[in-house]
């Protein structure tokens, strides 16, 4: 896993600024008043900080914006970064500020003069989250360098506040690494083995192979992977931090390590991006890592279906009818609508084996959700208003875009098949909704459930607020917060 940038929290020390050789950041509120640390830096720079704050440029800056004074006279630093961040600014602004500083620092050491600012831990989180680069496949990758030091009034308190945030950052980095990894590296077997290694965090991990899956009746999941030489797996991760008898939250993820579309072959242009089709499972793995690292007082079980959808003489054909673990039959109209075939069996097994208090699945499921919501929001489908509202609240608090979409019988009717219990697609209209309706058939009436279609947010072509282009780690922070707010005790 890509390591977090080393970060530490120290007491305020006004004598440290003059000799710091990397970058120095000071924080100034909208009122333009300099605290003791900022005044010291301003004096060292012959008043340059004060002049910048008094200038029109600072007045036009938004909360979390950063302005740079390069190679300041009177200091050894290569730059002084002035952050506009008031005490009343929200978490998103603080994280934006940290991300901005991380982008600017390059490989230089960064000293942040946070003083008594209430958002110091959140600023540190933003900096660490943005300071990410996936270079595992580069033969001459530059070694990661530099560190971040946050100078603050009560370093022990700020470090304690930052600790669970760093656990979330680790989980997000793991999600990004998995989603960015090419399919010849992250094979189905390599993926299962990597998850198994998470037992070192205190998770209980079970890897179910094809023989076990066949005995359980997971025929639809196995049908997706039967065209590949790589074996299919379901991996179960269990975290028991809550009361022994408390029913767990179940997280279920689609883990298609590469998706050719099967016999319903995808167009060649852009197919290389289908290494990210296991993004839903990567979020589940990242969340499980995060809650284990911070020792969450909740019971959570994560289940991921790991397959590869390839073309061969043994691949599932359009027109085939397959019996699900639940017992319903599915007419496969399009083999490129494979994610729902993976998820339906895992959803059913999750309920049968673990009797969850609630269940959330994540998948890069449909291109239709990108048409509807772009790359700003994941599609949220649910059979339970309370659970859905709680998740949307968590996503908003973490600034991870999510938008609720409808469900209904009219959409469900589009899945009717002439020869089987259902088809696996309902046509082009409302494609993301009919996909959710398909999954809903495998959710028991008494199980609160959310389906998250993350096709538009799992991996993007442009940088986001806290991530460079590529895999984003979307969902790790929101689901971690949901677990903390709704499922943890004590």
Contacts of 461 (CB under 8 A, 6+ apart): 469
Q: Are 185 and 257 in contact (CB under 8 A)?
A: no
- C-alpha 292/C-alpha 368 separation (Å) is 34
Domain match, 144 and 187 both: no
Contacts of 399 (CB under 8 A, 6+ apart): 91, 92, 95, 465
Token output for 214: 């066949």
- Looking at residue 144, its pLDDT comes to 75
CA proximity to 456, closest of 395, 401, 375, 399: 375
Token output for 373: 């919501």
CATH code: domain of residue 293: 3.40.630.10
Domain match, 175 and 109 both: no
- Out of 340, 423, 441, 481, which one is annotated catalytic? 340
Domain match, 419 and 316 both: yes
Q: Are 439 and 347 in contact (CB under 8 A)?
A: yes
Domain match, 149 and 175 both: no
Radius of gyration in angstroms for the set of CA atoms belonging to the chain, rounded to a whole number: 24
Domain match, 195 and 234 both: yes
Region at 270 (left for phi over 0; alpha for psi -120 to 50; beta for the rest): left
CA proximity to 348, closest of 250, 232, 443: 443
Domain match, 265 and 296 both: yes
Please state the φ and ψ torsions of residue 99, each to the nearest 5 degrees: -65, -40
CATH code: domain of residue 17: 3.40.220.10
Q: Are 456 and 375 in contact (CB under 8 A)?
A: yes
Domain total of the chain: 2
Q: Are 199 and 317 in contact (CB under 8 A)?
A: no
Token output for 155: 């370093």
Residue 410 lies in a domain: yes
Residue 162 lies in a domain: no
Helix (H) or strand (E) holding 36: helix 36-44
- Looking at residue 141, its pLDDT comes to 74
Helix (H) or strand (E) holding 388: helix 385-397
Residue 129 lies in a domain: yes
Range of the domain at 425: 169-487
Q: Are 406 and 484 in contact (CB under 8 A)?
A: no
Please spell the DSSP secondary structure of 101-169, one letter per residue: HHHHHTTS-EEEEEET-TTHHHHHHHHHHHS----TT-TTPPPP---EEEEESSHHHHHHHHHHHHHHH
List of long-range contacts for 204-212, beta carbons under 8 Å, 24+ apart: 204/237, 204/238, 204/239, 204/240, 205/235, 205/236, 205/237, 205/238, 206/235, 206/236, 206/238, 207/233, 207/235, 208/233, 208/234, 208/235, 208/236, 209/233
Domain match, 190 and 114 both: no
- Looking at residue 490, its pLDDT comes to 67
- Out of 266, 396, 440, 444, which one is annotated catalytic? 266
Domain match, 348 and 380 both: yes
For the segment 89-118, what is each residue's pLDDT rounded down to a tens digit? 999 999 999 999 999 999 999 999 999 999
Torsion of CA 222, 224, 227, 228, to 10 degrees: -80
* pTM (2 d.p.): 0.98
Q: Are 308 and 225 in contact (CB under 8 A)?
A: yes
- C-alpha 470/C-alpha 267 separation (Å) is 21
Domain match, 182 and 143 both: no
Domain match, 62 and 179 both: no
Last residue of a domain, which of 121, 153, 185? 153
Residue 446 lies in a domain: yes
Mean pLDDT by groups of 10 residues along the chain of 490 residues: 96 97 98 98 98 97 98 96 97 98 96 98 98 93 88 98 98 98 98 98 98 98 98 99 97 98 97 98 99 98 99 98 98 98 99 98 98 98 98 98 98 98 97 98 98 98 96 98 93
| Helix, strand, coil percentages in the chain from 3-state DSSP, rounded to 5 | 40, 20, 40
Please state the φ and ψ torsions of residue 72, each to the nearest 5 degrees: -70, 135
- C-alpha 402/C-alpha 172 separation (Å) is 17
Do you know the residue count of the chain? 490
* Residue 86: CA count within 13 A, CB half-sphere: 10
- C-alpha 88/C-alpha 130 separation (Å) is 23
DSSP state of 389: H
**What are residue 115's DSSP bridge partners?**
152
For the segment 341-384, what is each residue's pLDDT rounded down to a tens digit? 999 999 999 999 999 999 999 999 999 999 999 999 999 999 99
Domain match, 96 and 242 both: no
Q: Which residues of 238-276 are buried (b: 16+ CB within 10 A; e: fewer)?
A: bbebbeeeeebbbbbbbbbbbbbbbbbeeeeeeeeebbb
- Looking at residue 79, its pLDDT comes to 98
CA proximity to 401, closest of 432, 430, 380: 380
- C-alpha 259/C-alpha 282 separation (Å) is 15
Residue 163 lies in a domain: no
Residue 1 lies in a domain: no
Residue 164 lies in a domain: no
266 is catalytic: yes
Q: Are 213 and 221 in contact (CB under 8 A)?
A: yes
- C-alpha 69/C-alpha 82 separation (Å) is 8
Q: Residues 201, 222, 365, CA angle at the centre, nearest 5°?
A: 75
Helix (H) or strand (E) holding 88: none
Residue 160 lies in a domain: no
Domain match, 32 and 174 both: no
């Amino acid at each position: 896993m890509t390591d977090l940038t080393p970060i530490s929290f120290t007491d305020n020390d006004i004598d440290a600024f003059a000799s710091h050789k990397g970058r120095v950041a000071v924080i100034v509120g909208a009122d333009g008043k300099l605290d003791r640390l900022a005044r010291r830096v301003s004096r060292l720079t012959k008043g340059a900080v004060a002049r910048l704050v008094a200038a029109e440029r600072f007045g036009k800056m938004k909360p979390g914006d950063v302005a740079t004074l390069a190679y300041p006279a009177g200091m050894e630093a290569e730059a002084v970064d002035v952050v506009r961040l008031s005490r009343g600014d929200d978490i998103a602004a603080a994280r934006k500020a940290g991300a901005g500083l991380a982008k600017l620092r390059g490989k230089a050491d960064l000293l942040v003069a946070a003083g008594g600012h209430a958002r110091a831990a959140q600023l540190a989180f933003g900096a660490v989250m943005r300071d990410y680069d996936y270079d595992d496949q580069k033969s001459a990758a530059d070694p990661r360098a530099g560190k971040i030091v946050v100078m603050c009034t009560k370093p022990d308190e700020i470090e304690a506040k930052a600790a669970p945030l760093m656990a979330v950052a680790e989980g997000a980095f793991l999600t990004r690494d998995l989603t960015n990894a090419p399919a010849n590296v992250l094979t189905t077997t390599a993926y299962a083995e990597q998850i198994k290694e998470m037992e070192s965090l205190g998770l209980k991990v079970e890897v179910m192979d094809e023989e076990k899956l066949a005995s359980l009746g997971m025929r639809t999941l196995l049908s997706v992977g039967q065209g590949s030489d790589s074996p299919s797996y379901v991996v179960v991760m269990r975290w028991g931090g809550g009361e022994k008898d408390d029913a767990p939250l179940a997280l279920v993820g689609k883990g298609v390590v590469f998706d050719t579309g099967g016999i319903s072959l995808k167009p060649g242009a852009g197919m290389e991006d289908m290494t990210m089709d296991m993004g839903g499972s990567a979020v589940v793995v990242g969340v499980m890592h995060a809650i284990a690292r911070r020792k969450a007082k909740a019971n959570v079980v994560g289940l991921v279906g790991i397959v590869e959808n390839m073309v061969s003489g043994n691949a599932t054909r359009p027109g085939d009818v397959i019996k699900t673990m639940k017992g319903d039959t599915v007419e496969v109209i399009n083999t490129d609508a494979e994610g729902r075939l993976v998820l339906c069996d895992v959803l059913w097994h999750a309920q049968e084996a673990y009797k969850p208090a609630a269940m959330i699945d994540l998948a890069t499921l449909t291109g239709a959700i990108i048409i509807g919501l772009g790359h700003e929001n994941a599609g949220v489908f649910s059979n339970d208003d309370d659970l859905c509202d709680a998740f949307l609240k968590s996503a908003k608090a973490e600034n991870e875009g999510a938008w609720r979409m409808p469900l209904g019988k009219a959409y469900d009717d589009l899945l009717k098949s002439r020869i089987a219990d259902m088809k696996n697609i309902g046509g082009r209209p409302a494609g993301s909704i009919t996909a959710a309706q398909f999954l809903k058939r495998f959710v028991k009436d008494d199980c609160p459930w959310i389906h998250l279609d993350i096709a538009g947010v799992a991996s993007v072509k442009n940088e986001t607020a806290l991530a460079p282009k590529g895999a984003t780690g979307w969902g790790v922070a929101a689901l971690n917060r949901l677990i903390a707010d709704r499922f943890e005790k004590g």
